[in-house]
């Protein structure tokens, strides 16, 4: 059976569809129609090839408060996607819209190829920001319960629960009531509950908060395992080092808007590279080095250079050799995600905090 989905919207949205789908869609679009008909099988194919989750110009307001404004993002299938932003940036609202708990005021969503996550809910896993479980149930039964709600049979769900608890070091607590577990263990149980049904897409809201460093590593292992099995992971965090280590792509939100979307290295390239340079003899003419935006003398023969966007440190080094500068120190400092984050959201976040 061939089912057709109709997409309508502005030219820009259609353009996006066009970008990742093949010629037949292009033809439909080129013919001037605003509605692009997509064959379901082809769409499935496109999804499998490229995007697990896509938001197009999504907005949501509560009363007069604009929680999310004109947000677009695209999460490649099988990738780990970071959701970064200060408190109140609209992360949880966006996640709830993705999950279909809230409907956007405007814009469109595509979750695993479906316009609503509720239609594919058995293929999606979710861990909310505030963690809680049924305190009187055992670890196994609580994981199994959530898995059965996602369509697993009771026997299979129990088997999965025990398997996961064993694999991630909670085997001894499988039959303990949740209320007897420590906070960190409870949180791990909840993470396992959100992935027990082997979802294709997992949304984790602040999964690392409240975990000690050892358990943070266990959680990282869980995420790496999930990724290895082809699961698409979207997680929000305040901790930049997790995002740097784990994310293929990320989005930085601020005030309900997307401030940046791209890879970690793309994010880093938003800020100039800095080089600390020390020479054996004083006062060379460094300004004429290629790609140097500004320089600041720290002592008579030590400088701090800031490169222009896109300029590379190796070109500077090469130029130094060409000029036969005798270098004592050539220290390249790539900007880290933390700096990028503060640079992007700093002003608005501080403003929000003081408000």
Partner 1 sequence: MRNALLIAVREFLDNIQTRGFWFGILLVPLLWLMASQVPLILARKGTPTRHLALIDATAGERLFDVVLHHLKTAESRRELFHFREWVAPRLKSGQALPAADKQPQAWSKLQEDLGPLMKVDAGRFAPPTPLNRLVALPPELEWRGHLSEFEGRLRDWMREERLFKPVGVDEEVPLFAVAILQDGPSSNAPPILRFWSANQADTQLQDRIVDALSRNFRSREYSRLGMDPSTIAQVEASQAQLMSFNPRKAEGEEQVGMADLLRQWAPSAFVYLLWIAVFSISQMLLNSLIEERSNRILEVLLSSVTPLELMTGKLVGVAAVGAVMTLGWIGSLVLMTFWTLHTAGAAALAADSIANRLPLELATLLLDSWLLPAFVLYFLLGYLFYAAVILALGSTCNNLKEAQNFTGVIALLMMVPLVSIAFIPKDPNGPVATVLSWIPPYTPFVMMNRVAANPPLREVIGTLVLLLLSDVAVLWGCARIFKTAVLRTGQPASLVQLARWVLGRD
Rounded CA-CA distance 239/86 in Å is 11
- What is the CA 344 to chain-centroid distance, rounded? 16
17 vs 192, beta carbon nearer partner 1:
192
- Which residue, 233, 181, 171, 174, is CA-closest to 202? 233
137 binds partner 1 (CB under 8 A): yes
Q: Strand locations in 130-212, DSSP E?
A: 201-205
With contacts defined by CB under 8 A, name the span among 33-41, 76-84, 134-142, 232-240 that binds partner 1. Answer: 134-142
- What is the CA 296 to chain-centroid distance, rounded? 36
83 binds partner 1 (CB under 8 A): no
Binder of partner 1 out of 47, 91, 123, 150 (CB under 8 A): 150
- Please state the closest distance from residue 151 (CB atom) to partner 1, in A: 8
Tokens of 311: 């300029």
104 vs 272, beta carbon nearer partner 1:
104
User: Interaction with partner 1 in 188-217: which residues (CB under 8 A)?
Assistant: 190, 193-194
Rounded CA-CA distance 274/75 in Å is 31
- What is the CA 305 to chain-centroid distance, rounded? 32
Q: What is the dihedral of CA 219, 220, 221, 222, to 10 degrees?
A: 50
- Please state the closest distance from residue 310 (CB atom) to partner 1, in A: 42
User: Interaction with partner 1 in 287-306: which residues (CB under 8 A)?
Assistant: none
Q: How far is CA 201 from CA 87, 108, 206, 288, in A?
A: 24, 18, 16, 51
- Please state the closest distance from residue 86 (CB atom) to partner 1, in A: 19
146 binds partner 1 (CB under 8 A): yes
Rounded CA-CA distance 239/276 in Å is 27
Q: Name the strands in the sheet holding 65-76, side by side, starting at the edge strand that comes first in the sequence.
A: 65-76, 51-62, 106-111
* Contact characters 222-251, partner 1, x per CB under 8 A: ------------------------------
User: Interaction with partner 1 in 91-130: which residues (CB under 8 A)?
Assistant: 96, 99-102, 117-118, 121-122, 124, 126-130
With contacts defined by CB under 8 A, name the span among 146-154, 159-167, 231-239, 272-280 that binds partner 1. Answer: 146-154
Rounded CA-CA distance 152/164 in Å is 15
- Please state the closest distance from residue 122 (CB atom) to partner 1, in A: 8
193 vs 286, beta carbon nearer partner 1:
193
148 vs 276, beta carbon nearer partner 1:
148
Q: Which residues contact 254 (CB under 8 A, 6 or more apart)?
A: 85, 86, 89, 344, 345, 348, 349
Binder of partner 1 out of 133, 253, 292, 305 (CB under 8 A): 133
- Please state the closest distance from residue 153 (CB atom) to partner 1, in A: 11
Binding site for partner 1 (CB under 8 A): 96, 99-102, 117-118, 121-122, 124, 126-137, 145-146, 148-150, 190, 193-194
């Amino acid at each position: 059976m061939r089912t057709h989905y109709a997409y309508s919207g502005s030219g820009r949205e259609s353009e996006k569809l066009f970008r990742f789908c093949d010629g037949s869609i292009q033809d439909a679009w080129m013919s001037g129609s605003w509605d692009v008909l997509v064959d379901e099988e082809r769409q499935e194919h496109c999804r499998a090839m490229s995007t697990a989750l896509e938001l197009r110009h999504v907005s949501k307001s509560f009363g007069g408060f604009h929680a999310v404004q004109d947000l677009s993002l695209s999460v490649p299938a099988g990738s780990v996607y970071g959701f970064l932003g200060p408190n109140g940036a609209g992360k949880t609202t966006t996640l709830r819209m993705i999950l279909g708990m809230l409907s956007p005021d405007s814009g469109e969503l595509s979750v695993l190829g479906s316009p609503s996550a509720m239609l594919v809910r058995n293929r999606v896993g979710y861990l909310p920001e505030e963690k809680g479980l049924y305190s009187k149930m055992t670890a196994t039964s609580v994981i199994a319960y959530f898995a059965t709600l996602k369509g697993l049979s009771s026997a299979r769900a129990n088997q999965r629960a025990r398997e996961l608890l064993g694999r991630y070091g909670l085997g001894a607590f499988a039959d303990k009531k949740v209320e007897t577990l420590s906070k960190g263990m409870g949180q791990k149980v909840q993470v396992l509950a959100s992935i027990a049904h082997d979802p294709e897409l997992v949304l984790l809201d602040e999964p690392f908060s409240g975990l000690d460093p050892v358990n943070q590593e266990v959680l990282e292992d869980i995420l790496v395992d999930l990724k290895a099995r082809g699961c698409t992971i979207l997680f929000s965090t305040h901790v930049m080092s997790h995002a740097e280590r784990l994310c293929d792509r990320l989005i930085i939100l601020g005030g309900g808007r997307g401030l940046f979307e791209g890879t970690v290295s793309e994010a880093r390239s938003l800020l100039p590279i800095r080089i600390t340079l020390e020479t054996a003899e004083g006062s060379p003419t460094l300004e004429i080095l290629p790609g140097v935006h500004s320089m600041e003398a720290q002592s008579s023969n030590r400088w701090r250079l800031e490169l222009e966007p896109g300029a590379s440190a190796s070109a500077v080094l090469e130029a130094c050799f060409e000029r036969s500068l005798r270098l004592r120190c050539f220290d390249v400092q790539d900007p880290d995600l933390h700096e990028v984050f503060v640079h992007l959201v700093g002003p608005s976040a501080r403003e929000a905090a003081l408000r």
